[in-house]
């Protein structure tokens, strides 16, 4: 059903729309903030997994 749902031209179109909507100067800042958020989320999930493993012993 969703075979070939995301082709390269879809990504190019999405990038063009993002540049038009947000402007090229704000995109690096947005990408940086998303990266920080992902790092925080990853560290928090690892901490929760560590607490879960410590509780089992």
Where in the chain are the domains? Answer: 24-57
State residue 11's pLDDT score. 86
State residue 13's pLDDT score. 92
Mean pLDDT in each 10-residue stretch from start to end of the chain (57 residues)? 74 89 87 94 92 63
End-to-end Cα distance, the chain = 45
State residue 32's pLDDT score. 93
In degrees, rounded to 5, the angle at the alpha carbon of residue 40 between the alpha carbons of residues 51 and 54 is: 5
30, 22 Cβ separation under 8 angstroms: yes
Nearest-angstrom CA–CA distance, 43 and 21? 31
Eight-class DSSP state of 15: H
State residue 8's pLDDT score. 84
Residues contacting residue 27 through CB under 8 Å, at least 6 positions apart: 18, 19
Q: Is the pTM of this model over 0.95?
A: no
State residue 41's pLDDT score. 95
């Amino acid at each position: 059903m969703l075979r070939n749902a995301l082709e390269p031209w879809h990504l190019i179109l999405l990038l063009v729309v993002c540049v038009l909507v947000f402007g090229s100067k704000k995109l690096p800042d947005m990408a940086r903030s998303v990266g920080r958020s992902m790092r925080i989320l990853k560290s928090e999930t690892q901490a929760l997994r560590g607490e879960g493993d410590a509780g089992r012993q």
